[in-house]
Structure 1
Amino acid sequence: MSYGIYTQEGIKKGLIHITDDESVITYIHHNMTRNYKNPEEKVQAEIFCKLILWYKYPVEKIGLYVPVTDGSTKKQADIFVYNDSNHTSPLVVIECKKEDVSEQEFAQATNQAFSYAHFTAGTIKYVWTTSGIKNAYFKFDKESSVRETVSDIPQHGIKKLSSYKYAYNGGTTASGQQLFPLAKVTESELTNIFKQAHQALWGGGELNPSEAFDELDKLIFCKIFDEKKDRDVGEPYDFQVIPVEPENNTEEAKAKAEAETNKRLLKRLTALYEEGRQIGERKNDPEIFKDNIKLNAAKARTVVSYLEGVDLLSTDLDSKGRAFETFMGSFFRGDFGQYFTPRNIVSFIVDSLPITNQSRVLDTSCGSGGFLLHALDKVRKAATQKYPNYKADIKQYQRWWPYWHDFAENNLFGIEINEQIARTAKMNMIIHDDGHTNVVASDGLVSPEVLQEKTGNLGFRKNSFEFIITNPPFGSVIKQTEKAYLHQYSLATKDVDWLNSASKAADRPSQSSEVLFIEQAEKYLADGGYLAIVLPDGILTNSSMQYVRDYISDTFRVVAVVSLPQTAFMATGAGVKSSVLFLKKYSKKEKEKRQVLRTSIQSSLLSESDNGIELFSLIAKKKKEIAKYNKLIKIAEANTPEEVQKRKDERQSMIDEFDEQIKNIKELLSESYEEQYKTSLIDYPVFMAIAEDIGFDATGKETGNNELLIVSEKLSKFIEAIENGNDSFFL
């Protein structure tokens, strides 16, 4: 069961009871049962318990579903807090809405709460509107048309409110008011917070969804930076709404105070943003956010109202990571048509590889940073296993921190062609406690030298990475006429056909991006480095892609081929049948050796084998016969057209017959070549696996089973054996 923290405590304290099937809640003191399946009831239950457990109001002073006569209409206010146990002197009216309420609906709820206050006895002093993830507090003045915001409602017995609500580790004001520390939230709560904040930014039409996403990213950055700043207990956070008190009780003074509240908030946010950016630039990361905050003060306040009470740094890494990725994935699929690698596939690939804190890791098409984040998480878990008491032992902490953080800052690299997604990858990594420094916005297929020059990041060196883990975009076609770098790729050039002496090397007019990313990986990998890449099965099976497989055979040891189900990417909008290929880069000397061997076998077969000799004989005979028929056609031209056509038909029949014989001979030569090439090489085992259930179905729904976990366990042992020079244990 998943309840809010106050609901959980309320159950323990006997304030409420919820049935095992979570369908009915009973407010025990009020002897009232309600439908707990109603999302608004969940929020109301949490607020009810919070009033008692945090605000210290006696349960006798709280009224639920209080009848209010609104003009000629009878309605029910969700919660009243009273000054007395007889419920004759109301102090606070509270309107509760479900978490995913829109900004417009939230404003309507506030209007409704004020309406209840107007039609109730004149002792009400405060109005509180809440959706659980967003709160708005007001002083109530029946004679005023301007709504004066305050930081909170008072706790029981407190006469003077603090101007702010959230402070480091909480603390208590001089008047005795307890301040709120930031709170950890669940994955679903945080997902809703991100979605609702984003919706609030673009829902009014002032920003498009993409612009709103950028601005939300900037404010999340401000929020995290604010949490990281050193503070004393009780010192307020800057990332919160701090209402300015009006100079007097006039309408003009109240309106001026509201405007000043927003203005000061935006000023604090801008200062946080600039300070964070300056630190980024000192770390040679000037591109984390190129632009200034573009939101007006009112819009900035809207976002802050969702995030101000959340402890992003302390919220469980998996929870906040999944929340951000869920929100981000739904946004990018809708706005950009971008599809990210499912988490089960990401974890399978990373967990299968022996990545350590000393490894240099690269994703050449990193998207939102999923592979890099899982690599970071793997190293962080290794650090925690190595130094399990780091939280209590300062010496262990001094070792634990650099163990994974140096890896995050210096060894993780990512390239993403879309600038906005690259910034999002950085933010994703910041949310996961950093590792964003070496993520750059660039075409991942430009040469390493060009990339270094373009980004100023010299870490993208050739032959320097131990691991490349990537899922390149499928189906993108790179044309010679559009990309000047294409001629630099051998896989963008048609080699001379060894079975056709008349063929010549020539540029291919285009090449698919996934093929080029294989060759790009060779450039970045160190000798012995691993490439784990998701590829469409066509590269592994289509006869037209044999030249790609030859390139792979020359360049890499094929370590493993793991077939994924057809449904692997359907939930993210792609349906191409794919496999994960694990490759280990040969040294330059080994590659040349294999290429020389390939050429030597081909030459030997053509010049020395019976089939090779017969091939040249057939080609010579075909040429001679063509010349003979050409003469006969020339002679026939002096006779009838019918005679000419007859000779031409005879010539074509002869050509077809020779071509069929030549084709058969070439097939025999190809088979001989493949057999001799394989037997001439040192044989090695290849890990093969078919995963039919990878933990989710075509819709993304969890299946309760994940065969990739078993495959990963066995594959990691196989790779370990390879590294130890003992890879025959599976034979």
Structure 2
Amino acid sequence: MPTFPPAPSTDFTADGSACHRSGSLIWVPLRSRWVDTTHAPEEVVRQDWVRRLVVEGGFDLSQMAQEKRTQHGHGSPRADIVVWSSAEARSAGAAAIMVVETKATEGEVIESDFRQGASYATAGGAGFLIAATATAYAVYEMKPGFPGMATQINDWPKKEDFADPRRLDKLKHSLRVFDRDEFQKLLADCHDLLRDHHAMTPDKAFDTISKILFIKLSVERRGAARTFRTDFLDAFESTRINQKVSAHEELFNQTKEAFKGDELFAESDRLDISDATFRAIVAKLERFNLSKTGDDIKGIAFEQFLGRTFRGELGQFFTPRPVVDFMVEALDPREGELVCDPAAGSGGFLIRVFDHIRSAISADIERQKTEAFERISSDYPEDATEDQLAERDQRIDEAFAALNADLVPMSADGRPADTRVGKLARECIYGTDKEPRAARTAKMNMIMHGDGHGGIHAHDGLVNINGVWEERFNVIVTNPPFGATVTNAQLVGATRESDVPDDSRYSRRQTERYGDAWQAGHRAVVQARHSPILDTFEIGRGKKSRQTEVLFVERVLRLLKPGGRAAIILPNGNLNAVSLGWLRRWTEGNAYLRGVVALPVETFKFSKASVSASIVFLQKFTDKDVEAWNDAWMAAAVATNPEYDAQRQAALTEIGGKALTANGAPDVIELIEKLQAIGVVRKFEGYTRVPNNELVRNAGTTKLGNAKWHGRAVGEAATLKKELTVALKTHSKAVKAAEKELRDKLREIDVAQTAAMWAHVREHFDYEVFMAAPAGVGITATGETGAHVPNDLPEVLTEFRRFQPWRASNTSEDGF
């Protein structure tokens, strides 16, 4: 048992900055006693809020109470701290004005964990609820009526706010979006500083801000946040011995080392700004904790700042957010699935995937919390004692805390945690982009949204790197670059973006992370070094060039596991240009076309890559699908061969006869008849069918054999044969014309049979395809988005979700 010291003479320390502490004891002024926090860590948070209500809020202890229940019994909700309008109102049992519920855990406020306080506030008629963890809090205005109706506001009301209805009304309408706007404004202010102090272009300024944000994040994760403060910089400046190395250069060098494994910065990267500029930016950012600021605040603020800064300069790296949301929701990536964007740009798709899956995990944890709450509550009788109710509440808090642990992406040392969200961040999200600035931006964007940046690499998306290799991913979502060309002069390994290390250290690191599965993809790159990138693709092999977006179609399908699903934005020319019919047929033989959503022409007008495009949904064939496709082609050959072989034979007889007789020349016919009379004839040996070895399935190629002599050509026959040979040479133009006609006809028959075979396959391999052409997709031609911009995609998504089960119920094949 601890020894309790005398009661302190004041409720809090002399300056009001802290609660009285003595070892593991804390003074509880509302109870006028010391409490041991060894097994009650929540008491520390609760008493700090009692102190804040008094010191910062101006409330009196006489108008407060702690650990109050609405009534005694099984279902009675408890509040950690209750505040009344006055001591008299408390004594009279009037309705409270504010309730505070606290938790000992760290991290963001999870609304459902505070149902006790919300229930008390609702039942007791309190107008406000403060939900607080050890490191964060959220404030809610409680609405009358249906239980649980609440609106989050920006800050908690003080005593003077309750005394002035206008102040209180203003506070109620100060919504949380203020924090997001403030953070975004700070980023814009930093951008303006760099522009004004160093005449930086927007892209250079953004690179610099990104580096500074990485410094801040790095020092926070290392527990060295004090080094990102103006007082530290001032002290460093006054005492530094080496005048050649500034504080910000040293901090950036440490940051580069901390993120070395991510290959985020080149060794030559520098933070090329003045000491004064760095200090000015630190002064603006030092009061923010990036590690603990809500992901929805810093993530969306960063993304909006990013879009406003770069939409003109680097528009090719952006896909409009409404389009991104639609594609990810339509694909519906699930927990445990591996997702890749091989042309990640600024990371918009991967961020949305991360949010989508994390939301699903959160929903599942909420379900488990409800079950835990009901299960634990059922263990206690209706007339439970206060001690039993306290035990129940503690068990519920412990169960919630254990479940909430799965929502934490990072451990205390800055590494991905062994949790559900931690595994999502570390093991499931991958992306590449060959533009280093885009890759770095994507990493920072991911960090701001809750992490998952470790799988993003500055690398050519057409070449394997680290965790990105063939047949690894369940889901691919991408908007590849349009209009560029890959030529046979672009070689694997010729640039940093198209090569991978091949040393023992790299191999050891990859094996530790991915096991042996990565080796086949790695060997493919190593063996292809100094060869054209084109030659690593079926549709590029032996070609002089291919359009980049065309190659990405094959890349997407190769990255997918059998049965994997993809959404890819493609120029409409890929879908309807006659010259690219081969690509559509090649794709049709490798994947199901699940949907096409034509985007309006203004979708990409804001960017340099202004082009008419569509979203194409694909599902890669499984082995079973490949077998069914091959069976359909065999059946098509069996069904069409008799008809078209008869046509070939008829052409051989009719047109072949013209070639043998020089189109009916009398002198040739006379000689042929004389030879036939003595048993010597000249005729075509028929034709052979050469199987198709090309990219796209077809009926094969018909090859015409040379005309040959039959019978013994001796004596008179030999003489006649020589005369016929001379006669045919005399009529060579007619002979060649007839032979060409025959070959053209056979080619025509091949084409016709190919069309018939495709028709046969499509009839027997038939399935429905979702088609839509929304008039608006949430973005204007100038790049403006928002609730006021027409957006038909939510309705299209609803119809797409209805279509998929309908299609599956009417076909035998699986799909999404």
2:600 aligned residue: 565
| 1:580 positional shift | 1.2
**Structure 2 segments unaligned to the other structure (5+ residues):** 1-54, 59-134, 138-175, 370-395, 409-418, 492-531, 669-730
The higher relative CO (CA closer than 8 Å, separation ≥ 6) is in 2
Q: Deviations over 1:19-72 (max 9, x none)?
A: xxxxxxxxxxxxxxxxxxxxxxxxxxxxxxxxxx9999xxxxxxxxxxxxxxxx
| 1:485 pairs with 2:533 | yes
Give yes or no for the alignment of 1:697 onto 2:745.
no
Asked if the contact 1:313–1:433 (Cα under 8 Å) also holds between the matched residues in 2, the reply is no
Structure 1, unmatched stretches of 5+, are 1-52, 57-167, 171-182, 247-256, 452-456, 494-506, 633-646
Report the counterpart of residue 402 of structure 2 in structure 1.
395
> Judging changes above 3 Å, is the alpha-carbon distance between structure 1 residues 301 and 430 closer, same or farther for their aligned structure 2 residues?
same
Matching residue's letter, 2:762: K
Contact 2:443–2:454, Cα closer than 8 Å, also in 1: yes
Cα 1:622/1:486, change in 2 over 3 Å: farther
What's the CA shift for 1:169?
A: 8.5
The residue number in structure 2 matching 1:287 is 264
What is the 5 A alignment of 1:316-715?
316-336=294-314, 338-388=316-366, 393-401=400-408, 402-446=419-463, 448=464, 451=465, 457=466, 459-483=467-491, 484-493=532-541, 507-588=542-623, 590-591=625-626, 594-595=629-630, 597-598=632-633, 601=636, 605=640, 608-609=643-644, 610-613=646-649, 620=656, 668-681=752-765, 683-702=766-785, 703-715=788-800
Shift of 1:535: 1.0
Q: Is the 8 A contact 1:365 1:416 kept in 2?
A: yes
Q: Does 1:239 align with 2:323?
A: no
Contact kept? 1:361, 1:468, Cα under 8 Å: yes
Q: 2:284 aligns with which of 306, 309, 315?
A: 306
SS at match of 1:324: helix
2-structure distance, mates of 1:336, 1:387: 39
Matched residues, number: 501
Match of residue 191, structure 1, among 161, 184, 187: 184
Q: Give the Cα separation in 2 of the matches to 1:206 and 1:611.
A: 76
Name the structure 2 match of 1:156. none
Is the 1:368–1:428 contact (alpha carbons within 8 Å) kept by the matching residues of 2?
yes
The equivalent residue for 1:25 is none
The answer to whether the 8 A contact 2:198-2:273 is kept is: no
Q: Distance in 2 between matches of 1:628 and 1:199?
A: 88
Alpha-carbon distance in 1 for matches of 2:810, 2:188? 50
Deviations 1:657-681 (A, max 9, x none): 9899778756643432222122233
Q: Deviations over 1:616-667 (max 9, x none)?
A: 66875786699999x99xxxxxxxxxxxxxx999999999998997787566
1:217 is displaced (CA, Å) by: 0.9
Q: Are the aligned partners of 2:314 and 2:607 in contact in 1 as well (CA < 8 Å)?
A: no
SS at match of 1:557: strand
Q: Distance in 1 between matches of 2:537 and 2:404?
A: 47
Hey, what's the Cα distance between the residues in 1 that align with 2:443 and 2:763?
Answer: 48
Q: Percent identity?
A: 27
Cα deviation, residue 424, structure 1: 1.2
Check the 8 A contact 1:558/1:584 in 2, yes or no: yes
Residue 529 of structure 1 and its aligned partner are, at CA, apart by: 0.7
Counterpart residue identity of residue 486, structure 2: I
Q: Does 1:222 align with 2:307?
A: no
**CA shift for structure 1 position 368:** 0.7
Q: 1:555: how far off?
A: 0.8
1:676-722 residue CA offsets vs partner (Å, 9 max, x unmatched)? 122233x3222222222212232233444422112223324544677
User: Aligned equivalents of 1:432 and 1:684: distance in 2?
Assistant: 39
CA contact (8 A) 1:339 1:573 kept: no
d(CA) in 1 for partners of 2:629, 2:663: 41
SS for the counterpart of 1:492 is coil
**CA displacement at 1:197 relative to structure 2:** 1.7
Aligned partner of 1:150 in structure 2 is none
Could you tell me which amino acid in structure 2 is paired with residue 238 of structure 1? T
Write the distance in 1 (CA, Å) between the matches of 2:471 and 2:781: 38
Conserved? CA contact 1:363–1:469, under 8 Å: yes
8 Å Cα contact 2:768-2:807 kept in structure 1:
no
What is the Cα deviation at residue 544 of structure 1? Answer: 1.9
TM-superposed CA distance for 1:590, in Å, is 3.5
| Aligned partner of residue 778 in structure 2, secondary structure | strand
Q: SS of the counterpart of 1:696? A: coil
2:486–2:545 Cα contact (<8 Å) kept: yes
* CA shift in 2, pair 1:205/1:285, >3 Å: closer
Secondary structure of the residue that 1:567 maps to in structure 2?
Answer: helix
The amino acid of 1:581's aligned partner reads V
What is the CA distance between 1:222 and its match in structure 2?
1.9
Residues 628 and 429 from structure 1, CA distance in 2 versus in 1: closer, same or farther, beyond 3 angstroms?
Answer: farther
Q: CA deviation at 1:527?
A: 1.1
Q: What SS is found at the alignment partner of 1:366?
A: coil
Question: How far is 1:378 from its partner?
Answer: 0.7
**CA separation of 1:245 and 1:419: change in aligned 2, threshold 3 A:** closer
Matched letter for residue 760 of structure 2? Q
Equivalent position amino acid for 1:412 in 2: I
What is the Cα deviation at residue 375 of structure 1?
0.5
The alpha-carbon deviation at position 488 of structure 1 amounts to 2.3
Q: Which moved more, 1:382-391 or 1:368-377?
A: 382-391
> Which position in structure 2 is the counterpart of 1:496?
none
Deviations 1:560-592 (A, max 9, x none): 222221222112343322111111111246436
Distance between the aligned counterparts of 1:441 and 1:690, measured in 2? 34
Q: What letter is aligned with 1:693?
A: G
SS at match of 2:617: strand
Q: CA deviation at 1:532?
A: 1.1
Q: CA deviation at 1:556?
A: 0.8
Report the equivalent of 1:149. none
Q: Residues 701 and 169 from structure 1, CA distance in 2 versus in 1: closer, same or farther, beyond 3 angstroms?
A: closer
